[in-house]
Amino acid sequence: METRRALVTGAASGIGAACAQRLAADGVHVVAVDFDEAGLETLGALDCVETVVADLSDLERLADLPTDVDILVNNAGVQQVAPVEQFPPERFSYILRLMLEAPFRLIRQTLPHMYGAGWGRVVNISSVHGLRASPFKAAYVAAKHGLEGLSKVVALEGAAHGVTSNCVNPAYVRTPLVTAQLADQAATHGLSESEVLDKVLLEPVAVKRLIEPDEVAELVAMLCGPASASITGSSFVLDGGWTAH
């Protein structure tokens, strides 16, 4: 893996940071991208990591990011909790732009390098909400469902070129995104944050705990490793039994 180069989005914290660190531990040269410059500082201290500050929702600026990468991890995302009839249209557009159109554009501009090399790995950090829906998350669920379809198309097109494309689908992970949801969901449901954790976030899962970012990163590393050549077009669920119902 020492010859590989990866681009990881949303890398300043949570799943993205864990993925960047895990790939760097395998010797991959990682380009860590986020708009949170302060959050990237810790990653920037690692030998195998370079950091790039960028707003991925600014689609025209995505062309400025490196395209000569062998591994692309689309992770950047945000959440908004509101009923459909109250959901701000501009926020809906922003979430789809950041979480669906930006991954499409990044895949589109990095595939030529992967095709030329005859090897590439696209890993899309989806969610259990790429496979299931929950109330009050219209934009997030729509974006993740779209990402699932995009990933499968890339898998079919890329197979002849040595490129795989897969989704990783965790339930709730211990990240700043989930922490922020506790307050939003508490206000929406009229519950305390601890009640939201137990009665909303963890209610559908059999394993009653949040997933750790490092657990997701381990699966990402496997999908980028030497045993992954025939793993493509799939969605790998880390949901504590949510979808077993």
Q: Which of 94, 115, 140, 172 is catalytic?
A: 140
Active site residue 94: no
Interatomic CA distance for residues 9 and 110, integer angstroms: 14
Residues carrying an active site annotation: 140
